Amino acid sequence: MTRAWLYGAVGVALLSGAALAQTSTSTTTKSTTVSPVTGDVTTDKSRTSIDSSGGETRKEQSTTTGIGGTTESSRSQTTTPGIGSSTTTTTTKTRP
């Protein structure tokens, strides 16, 4: 009888640990800068996420608005743990 309780407690502890290991974390940062010379307004946003297997994804976005129009840039980088491979995608759009 005592063994059954002990095995049950161990099973619950193992399942709880597995559930905690599947969580992910992320951090988001945002800043806005105004240039006193040109009057351009730049907004930068970055987000870093780490998944349950240790893979890291970093996304950066920048928008600059001024007399010449709007420029949007985005960058995404994913790193896979263990093999250390990394994939980076960069996109830039300009609108008058």
Q: What is the pLDDT of residue 89?
A: 86
pLDDT tens-place string over residues 30-87 = 999 998 888 899 999 999 999 888 888 999 999 999 988 999 999 999 888 776 678 8
Cα–Cα distance between 53 and 30 in angstroms, integer? 27
- Tokens matching residue 18: 């597995």
Q: Write down the domain spans for the chain.
A: 24-95
Q: What is the pLDDT of residue 11?
A: 60
pLDDT category of residue 15 using cuts at 50, 70 and 90: low
Spatial contact of 42 and 31, defined as CB atoms under 8 Å apart:
no
pTM of the model: 0.64
